[in-house]
Structure 1
Amino acid sequence: MELRATSPALTSDTEVALTSSSPLEQGALLRACRAVLRPLAQLAVARGLPFTDVAEVLKQSFVEAARAAHPGVLPHRAVSRISTTTGLNRREVTRLMQRRGGEGSARTSPATQAFTRWLTDPAFTGEDGVPSPLPPQGPAPSFESLAHSVTRDVHPRTLLEELSRLGLARVDEDDGRVHLVNRAFVPRADLDRMLAFLGANVGDHLAAAVANVLSDGRRHFEQALFADELSDESLDAARGLISRQWQELLHTLAPALQALIDADKAEGRPAGQRLRIGLFAFTDAMDAPAGATAARPASTPTSIRKE
């Protein structure tokens, strides 16, 4: 068993910002990126967001970060400098720099297109406008014809499997036809709100961690406690303890922060700063070392560590 706590590795006040990395450091950086991107990929796949949309956001973010890293570059040299910094070609950099707002429009996936057409095309709805159950194959109206009306690059069976995975369609065992299950692509009404929290909370946490690694002199509090070899019963007990600790933290910090806000107003101090304080817990099965047995030898020391 292990219990550890962690804090940012760079602690010296004299350290300078990292401007380049060795091959060894790049390997560590790629491993960190992989750990951060894997949950995002899981979210995108679960919600039917195609890779091309995420890649576009990532490229846009690279361009914005490169522009911020070279604030004094002359406009006529900006494209070349950003291209060199990011590895994107000049044409791509020019296109991304010309976009307004940095958002762009999402490309609809074949599943989204099929779902939308099934909802709206009179060829696939009844007289009342309700999407009709469709035979899997055959001439129109069928799911095969619906799929082919959207794309010829994806097999109709594959498209049906994707719609089924997203909880939007199913094959009825009694009549053998394909039925539309949901009439909204996002079944949870509060999903937008949940995603906004995800972006704000995880985004700020990651920004704090990145700032600490880059060592720009404005370090943020970021520590964690790690433990393994816990039973399900122990996890249940730990969840209760974490909840109580959060309530205590909330009841202590909220009034104190409000007092600081009131003092700023009373003193007329410029108030352009923001603060986010969070507590999170994540539980998962332990990764077994390659070739290891399920039980760790009794001679293996157990500990708790701070990260």
Structure 2
Amino acid sequence: MPTQSLNAVPAAAGDEADQALLRACRAVMAPLARLAVARGTRYAQIDDLLRSAFVDAAREAHPDVPANRAVSRVSAATGLNRREVTRLIKADEAEVPKRSPATEVFTRWLSDPALRRKGKPMRSLPRQGPAPSFESLAQSVTKDVHPRTLLEELCRLELAKVDDKTDAVVLLRDKFVPTGDARRLFGFLGANVGDHLSAAVANVLNPTPRHLEQALFADGLSSDSVEQLRPIVSDQWQALVRALAPTVQQLIDEDAANGRAQDHRLRVGLYAFADRVSGTVNEPAEQGRTATRRRKE
């Protein structure tokens, strides 16, 4: 299949909206391409993933199409030939990564109101014994994995440690961004960026935006000024987590206790990115967000 320059615009995409869509796609794909090149991932692998994503999206858009017409409908919607669509539909679906029990223990430790003192998570828990203890915390998440195994995993991830003198488990971090673990780091990248992009796309496709997806943009800053802003952004994120996490955990517990269907998920995030200003800046004129910008005339 011949490739096409990223700068080229198909003739069919002549109107302004289609051109804007292609520019947005390029802005999204550029960092993914940088990551793939840096990791030695070949174009063919990414191309196959993109084709699969198109097929999945087309099937989702036409869920009521009979099975005997699905290939034709997907082919028409995506531009992929019928043989390629059939191959992709029959391909094994990628396994959806599941959050590990150790991660759930860490998250509950940070968010459970019973494990907070003066609005902050307890930094130390007795290793064994009745609540509050690490043993009771681990068993509240799962009884299928021994608390000792969960503790060893938290220590491996450098999220907690054991104080041998007091036989207590000490919390080392207040957020989970593992280092030296590529699989988990890429998992965070896919989950966080994927949901962020899903929120933005849903707001574009739906008449009434339903998801919070806003940003503050500023240029005209020095590198020193950017460094002064980093701890402020980090503090704001910690404040948001402290305010929101206990309420989220309380609602989860209430839903479980009242037998309500727990079939929804929520991801709330905050991101900040700083870089040297290049010739072009990805800053739409209007996108429903606060913008602070100083232009040189």
- Structure 2, unaligned runs of 5 or more: 1-12, 96-178, 281-290
| Matches of 1:241 and 1:272, distance apart in 2 | 35
1:79 matched to 2:74:
no
Deviation at 1:221, TM superposition (A): 0.9
Deviation at 1:287, TM superposition (A): 2.3
TM-score (norm. length: structure 1)? 0.58
Cα deviation code 1:131-154 (max 9, x no counterpart): xxxxxxxxxxxxxxxxxxxxxxxx
How many residue pairs get aligned? The number is: 189
Q: 1:269 to 1:246 in 2, by over 3 A?
A: same
Alpha-carbon distance in 2 for matches of 1:288, 1:216: 33
> For the residues of structure 2 that align with 1:58 and 1:252, how far apart are their CA atoms?
38
Check if 1:235 corresponds to 2:226: yes
Does 2:89 match 1:97? yes
Counterpart amino acid of 1:67?
R
Is residue 53 of structure 2 the alignment partner of residue 61 of structure 1? yes
Which of the residues 184, 199, 205 maps onto 1:214? 205
CA contact (8 A) 1:60 1:102 kept: no
What are structure 1's unaligned runs of at least 5 residues?
1-20, 104-187, 290-302
Alpha-carbon deviation of 1:22?
7.0
1:199 to 190, 211, 216: 190
Give runs of ≥4 in structure 1 deviating > 3 Å: none
- Following the alignment from structure 2 to structure 1, what is the Cα–Cα distance between the partners of residues 46 and 225? 38
| Identical columns (%) | 55
Q: State the partner residue of 1:139.
A: none
Q: Does 1:261 align with 2:252?
A: yes
Structure 1 residues 82-231: aligned runs within 5 Å = 82-102=74-94, 189-215=180-206, 219-231=210-222
Find the counterpart in structure 2 of residue 304 from structure 1.
292
Q: CA deviation at 1:217?
A: 5.2
**TM-score (norm. length: structure 2):** 0.60
Q: Partners of 2:36 and 2:88 in 1: how far apart?
A: 22
- Choose 1 or 2 for highest CA Rg: 1
Match for residue 272 of structure 2 among 278, 281, 284: 281
Which residue of 11, 17, 30 corresponds with 1:25?
Answer: 17
Deviations 1:8-57 (A, max 9, x none): xxxxxxxxxxxxx8722111110010000000000000000000000000
Change in 2 beyond 3 A, CA 1:58/1:23: same
Q: CA RMSD in A?
A: 2.1
How far the C-alpha of 1:232 sits from its partner, in A, is: 1.5
Which piece of structure 1 moves more, 50-59 or 78-87? 78-87
Q: Which residue of 2 aligns with 1:184?
A: none
Please say if 1:40 is aligned against 2:28: no
1:156 aligns with: none
